[in-house]
Amino acid sequence: MRRVRAEEIMSSTLETLNRWVDDVARLTRPDAIHWCDGSDAESQMLTELMLARGDLLALNQETHPGCHLHRSHPSDVARVEHLTLVCTRNREDAGPNNHWLAPEEAHAKIDALFDGCMQGRTLYVVPYCMGPIDSPLSRCGVEITDSPYVVANMRVMTRMGAAALARIEREGHFVKGLHSTGDLDPDRRYIMHFPEELSIKSIGSGYGGNALLGKKCHALRIASWQARDEGWLAEHMLIVGIENPQGQTHYVAAAFPSACGKTNLAMLIPPEGYRRDGWKVWTVGDDICWMKPGPDGRLWAINPEAGFFGVAPGTSQATNPNALATVQRDTIFTNVAITADGQPWWEGLPGAPTVDWQGRPYDPANGPAAHPNSRFTVSARQAPSWSPEAEAAQGVPISAIIFGGRRPSLVPLVFEAHDWTHGVLVGAAMGSETTAAATGAVGVLRRDSMAMKPFCGYNYGDYFAHWLSFDRPGAQLPKIFHVNWFRKGADGRFLWPGYGDNLRVLEWILGRCEGRAEARDTPIGFVPRPGDLNLAGLDLPRAAIAELLDVDAAGWLPEMEAIGEYLATFGDRTPDRLETEQRRILAALAAAAPAPARAAAG
């Protein structure tokens, strides 16, 4: 077996890391081992290797320099939540929100699949840092993989290579991630997490969320466990900076389920009138946020990622021009279609596809040309709206936390929680229609607390308690809000225009944070009146804005009762404070609802 030892990258490294690599090599039996240094030369070598093997296809280098296309196996195009396990010694520590298997049984099951799986392949050792390399909020890991496609993506999505390895050597600890594409058999596919061991094992998939172990696996499932133990939060949230005409920038963290507009909001372009007045929007991150209380009592946040792994469909000049500009060069596209002249294509772009995401001549009878969950992987620095504060070691201070999901009715455009406890309940109760980012039915309403249902690495009841624990003397906590861009009218059309006009809602949110904006108090929280929002230049009928801001107490009664039933599913782990808050709001709704609704609620 040919070996390229870590000593060739730096003079010494962790004995435990070398020993682990040796153990994995004995199990998986690769033909070669390569320690990744993250260099340009290494990246070029891997790209040439994948082009020669057919793992990548070069796109039109005149229109999209440095861009390539990767096609997944048709059975391997999304996260597989039913095969994603959290393996803790005590089943209740994983909670009903996770699929569970005992660690000993889990290791035995997946190690049997790893046995000899890298024969004929190269084992790549990928040291990486989640977050700025010099930030005390960052955490390091090492992924072992047999996929050069994974290596290429990890180079974009993390701080990967020699600098990360040096930090690992200094700190002496890291998250261990073992991955192999295996034989891509869906019946031999698992993504297993061992939070008590700070380790991950994934086999049988090459798809991003299952294979890029620094992303959802480390930065959310394992990091959420670490965060609880260490007093911080690892969240499925974007981070965006909003600069007002006075030059003040407020940073907002927002949680939405996958494919529900996180990247669009993170790269928002203000409406023309706002731009003319001097408003600017800065992108810190589009998917993951790590927050920790600072010495001043505020929550300070970093984006642990260095790139975007964004959903391509829905990204267009009309919806997200910044994202479209970002992916014009040095981008890895996955499962998109291509045009006759070799440009990447998906529904919503001009032109026409000639080859679909599976490499077949495009035929509408076969479905969409680009897979609904097709992706782009690109450095965040390429975004026109990228904020240099994304590299700030101390992070950025968070003024507001926003929760949101796809709700076609009932939930108003925006409301503010009464206090932190109420805000935690708002996040815990969040519901959304499912999207194509995960396997299974699309358009089904499910509870997705804090948009973390697929990603929380431990019992949701304990997770809610951890959120509540930040409300302590001296804390200067962000205000918490809920938004719903997706409310529909009787005709089935969206009532709110969304996209850039969402800044109108964010302006009200920041006004509330500064104590300037007005609102009316309702049982579910503070809701703006039509005159409290800046609607100048927006052609929106009065009836539409009235419906968007309506709070139907009678309609909310069964919703709040269902929230109580949902909280009860976590049993004794559900914090009493949260259940008390749910009962308080239920009583306020009953008092506000018409008598027939109160009687029906019982």
Cα 261 from Cα 266, distance rounded (Å):
9
64 known ligand binder: no
Look at residue 443 in the predicted model and tell me its pLDDT: 62
Cα 293 from Cα 278, distance rounded (Å):
31
pLDDT tens, residue by residue, 146-182 = 999 999 999 999 999 999 999 999 998 899 999 999 9
Query: What are φ and ψ of residue 387, in 5° steps?
Result: -100, 130
pLDDT tens, residue by residue, 345-366 = 999 999 999 999 999 999 999 9
Look at residue 8 in the predicted model and tell me its pLDDT: 47
Cα 71 from Cα 435, distance rounded (Å):
21
316 known ligand binder: no
Cα 277 from Cα 490, distance rounded (Å):
35
90 known ligand binder: no
Look at residue 166 in the predicted model and tell me its pLDDT: 94
Q: How far is CA 125 from CA 9, 148, 154, 189, in A?
A: 12, 11, 11, 21
502 known ligand binder: yes
pLDDT (mean) for 539-543 = 94
Query: What are φ and ψ of residue 502, in 5° steps?
Result: -65, -20
The share of the chain scoring above pLDDT 90, in percent, equals 89
Q: 581 is written with which tokens?
A: 């808050």
Look at residue 79 in the predicted model and tell me its pLDDT: 85
Share the mean pLDDT of the chain. 94
373 known ligand binder: yes
Non-local CB neighbours of 468 within 8 Å, separated by 6+ positions: 420, 421, 424, 575, 577, 578
- Quick check: helix, strand or coil at residue 383? coil
244 known ligand binder: no
CA dihedral 420, 300, 311, 206 (to 10 degrees): -110
Q: Sort strands 396-404 and 249-255 into parallel, antiparallel or unpaired.
A: parallel
Look at residue 441 in the predicted model and tell me its pLDDT: 62
Q: Using the 8-state DSSP alphabet, how is residue 488 labeled?
A: B
- Quick check: helix, strand or coil at residue 404? strand
Q: Is the pLDDT of residue 3 over 80?
A: no
CATH 3.90.1150.10 fits 234-307+387-541, yes or no: no
Question: pLDDT grade, residue 537 (50/70/90)?
Answer: very high
Q: Is the pLDDT of residue 18 over 60?
A: yes
pLDDT tens, residue by residue, 265-275 = 999 999 999 99
The residue type at 499 = Y
Cα 540 from Cα 547, distance rounded (Å):
11
**Shortest CA distance to 566 belongs to which of 429, 423, 422?**
429
pLDDT tens, residue by residue, 493-508 = 999 999 999 999 999 9
Q: Sort strands 122-130 and 32-35 into parallel, antiparallel or unpaired.
A: parallel
Look at residue 568 in the predicted model and tell me its pLDDT: 97
pLDDT (mean) for 69-93 = 95
Q: Is the pLDDT of residue 437 over 60?
A: no
Question: pLDDT grade, residue 598 (50/70/90)?
Answer: low
Look at residue 257 in the predicted model and tell me its pLDDT: 82
Cα 448 from Cα 453, distance rounded (Å):
5
Question: pLDDT grade, residue 577 (50/70/90)?
Answer: very high
Task: Note the pTM of the prediction, 2 decimals.
Answer: 0.94
How far does Cα 580 stand from its chain's mean position?
30
Look at residue 261 in the predicted model and tell me its pLDDT: 80
How far does Cα 58 stand from its chain's mean position?
28
Catalytically annotated residues: 260
- Quick check: helix, strand or coil at residue 449? helix
Look at residue 467 in the predicted model and tell me its pLDDT: 98
375 known ligand binder: yes
- Output the CA angle 362-368-370, nearest 5 degrees: 80
501 known ligand binder: yes
Superfamily (CATH H level) for 2-56+79-231: Phosphoenolpyruvate Carboxykinase, domain 1 (3.40.449.10)
Q: How far is CA 542 from CA 504, 506, 553, in A?
A: 16, 20, 21
Q: 204 is written with which tokens?
A: 């049988």
190 known ligand binder: no
Look at residue 596 in the predicted model and tell me its pLDDT: 65
Q: N- to C-terminal Cα distance for the chain?
A: 72
Query: What are φ and ψ of residue 279, in 5° steps?
Result: -75, 140
Question: pLDDT grade, residue 594 (50/70/90)?
Answer: confident
